């Protein structure tokens, strides 16, 4: 399991704490220090089963200053998040072919139990 993590984010820390409490072995990737590639983000979005625009944090200053009100393509949103990684919702937790955004934190539990 991989947690794309920002240690300054309470939700991100909560997701890591929840996984640790459940005894889950996971790896953290601090995506602000180790930026994702276009290929990485595209693969994550596929696992999340969501368009890039849905992963954008609309409260971030970069969004408000540079992107608010603009109609960007999927590729352009991905490029924007690569250039400005703070735009990405967090934490993103990936297990195999599935992923969730850990907001609320309990969403992470969806990856722990197999669905019938």
Q: Write down the CATH number for the domain with range 2-111.
A: 3.40.30.10
Q: Residue 83: in which H helix or E strand, if any?
A: helix 74-83
Coil, helix or strand at residue 50? coil
Domain boundaries, the chain: 2-111
Predicted TM-score (pTM) of this structure: 0.92
Give the active site residues: 9
Per-residue pLDDT of the chain (116 residues; tens, 9 = 90+): 999 999 999 999 999 999 999 999 999 999 999 999 999 999 999 999 999 999 999 999 999 999 999 999 999 999 999 999 999 999 999 999 999 999 999 999 999 876 54
Strands (DSSP E) contained in the chain are: 2-5, 27-30, 92-95, 98-101
């Amino acid at each position: 399991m991989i947690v794309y993590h920002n240690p300054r984010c309470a939700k991100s820390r909560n997701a890591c704490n929840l996984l640790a409490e459940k005894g889950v072995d996971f790896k953290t990737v601090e995506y602000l220090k180790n930026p994702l590639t276009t290929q990485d983000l595209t693969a994550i979005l596929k696992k999340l089963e969501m368009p890039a625009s849905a992963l954008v944090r609309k409260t971030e200053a970069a969004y408000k200053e540079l992107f608010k009100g603009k109609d960007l393509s999927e590729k352009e949103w991905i490029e924007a998040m690569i250039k400005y990684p703070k735009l990405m919702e967090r934490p993103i937790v990936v297990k195999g072919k599935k992923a969730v955004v850990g907001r609320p934190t309990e969403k992470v539990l969806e990856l722990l139990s197999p669905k019938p």
